[in-house]
Amino acid sequence: MRAVTFQGAKDIQVKQVEAPSIQTEDDIIVRITSTAICGSDLHIYLGGMPAAKDYVIGHEPMGIVEEVGSNVTRVKKGDRVVIPFNVSCGHCYYCSHDMESQCDSSNRNPDVHSGGYLGFTARYGNYPGGQAEYLRVPYGNFMPLVIPESCELEDEALLLLSDVLPTAYWSVENAGVKHGDTVTVLGCGPVGLMVQKFAWLKGAKRVIAIDRVPYRLEKARRMNQAEVYNFEDYDDMGLYIREITKGGSDIVIDCVGMDGKKTAMEAIGQKLKLQGGTLSAVDIAIEAVRKFGTIQLTGVYGSLYNMFPLGHIFERNITLTMGQAPVIHYMPELFKKITAGEIDPTEIISHRLPLEQASEAYRIFHEHEDECTKVVLKP
């Protein structure tokens, strides 16, 4: 089959690889019809999340069930399914307590002690990803969201249930956004844009959006009526936010993570120059939040960030929340919101390209060309 493979930093190639097959009686094989590129894939693309050569990337897929293991009763051949990025067994303590992103069975890597994620390198379970013609999905009785036959929505309306929508929804919940809060959202990529929308739905009284890319800021303003700032226009974006909010934002949600404009090596270089200071978004967050406020880190950080400025956070009684979103249990609720017309995820999809053009697609998404906000690949 054809699949999107990692070859090296900024080197993505569509290659012929062995098609997946059923390995345990709980597996299913899905023929992928649509599969999106995520900001998280950019961490792999830039070398910030080390991957082996020829590793198949992708964790935002949907498609048609092609084959099921002998134990699978929840789905059958021909069903249309959306696959969440969390690999989750459905039985362990975490899966039974709505914390599926830390499933105890899904990652055997003893160095990490975290859950496993599709297409997210050997560190997180070594599962081949979903930017491919076919995908093996473990735990077929728990992971897939089955789309009822009566649902006539196109893939694009449903695809982001695999990650972006539940991640954004969870971010706002996990941060504890409540009625009357001022919420500052760092990043106006797909995740940030949806976080801004959900912050309003949770009752925020003010939503501030920050980025450096003018068309993305404009999108945040138009799509979400956010108050927008380009951090490159300010000497200290965080302090400015503290000023205009008279003491700081109640909540800051970081939807950036490791700076997508730099390769990991460039970031390490900058960090050394700063003599142990942290980089970019998380610095802004620490300055912008009010005392006793909350910073939610949804953007992904790796071991580069182990020298975190704990002192500042302690001194100002800041609460830090973070992690990989447990997307699975939000999928049915958000599916209902989509079918009821309450949210329209197609608003953030800007590009549709054949899988064969993945290399070009990664470049456009990463370089912010052609007003790109989200790319869907079609195998």
- Show contacts with ligand NAD in window 73-132 (CB under 6 A): none
Residue with tokens 């880190």, as numbered in its chain: 297
Size of the site for ligand NAD (CB under 6 A): 33
DSSP-based helix, strand, coil % in the chain, nearest 5: 35, 25, 40
Q: Is 39 one of the binding residues for ligand NAD (CB under 6 A)?
A: yes
- Closest to ligand NAD by CB, 138 vs 190, is 190
Q: Is 349 one of the binding residues for ligand NAD (CB under 6 A)?
A: no
Q: Is 278 one of the binding residues for ligand NAD (CB under 6 A)?
A: no
- Closest to ligand NAD by CB, 134 vs 170, is 170
Beta strand 249-254 pairing with 182-186: parallel
Q: Is 210 one of the binding residues for ligand NAD (CB under 6 A)?
A: yes
302, 303, 306, 308 alpha-carbon torsion, rounded to 10°: -20
Find all residues with CB under 8 Å of 63, minimum gap 6, and list them. Answer: 30, 31, 32, 33, 34, 80, 81, 83, 135
Among 26, 133, 155, 163, binds ligand NAD (CB under 6 A): 163
Rounded CA gap, 208 and 82, in Å? 32
Largest Cα span, the chain: 61
Among 20, 140, 190, 345, binds ligand NAD (CB under 6 A): 190
Find all residues with CB under 8 Å of 238, minimum gap 6, and list them. Answer: 283, 284, 285, 286, 287, 288
Task: Take residue 81 and report the two structure tokens written for it.
Answer: 């399914």
Contact 164, 60 (CB under 8 A): yes
**Interface with Zn ion by CB under 5 A: which residues?**
38, 40, 163
The least CB distance from residue 109 to ligand NAD, in Å, is: 18
| Minimal CB distance residue for Zn ion | 38
Segment contacting ligand NAD by CB under 6 A, of 61-69, 108-116, 186-194, 218-226: 186-194
Rounded CA gap, 6 and 47, in Å? 10
Beta strand 206-211 pairing with 182-186: parallel
The least CB distance from residue 312 to Zn ion, in Å, is: 29
Segment contacting ligand NAD by CB under 6 A, of 33-41, 76-84, 123-131, 309-317: 33-41
- Closest to ligand NAD by CB, 210 vs 377, is 210
The least CB distance from residue 19 to ligand NAD, in Å, is: 27
Which residues of the shown chain bind ligand NAD in the complex (CB under 6 A)? 38-40, 42-43, 163, 167, 186-192, 210-213, 216, 231, 255-257, 259-260, 280-281, 284, 298-300, 324-325
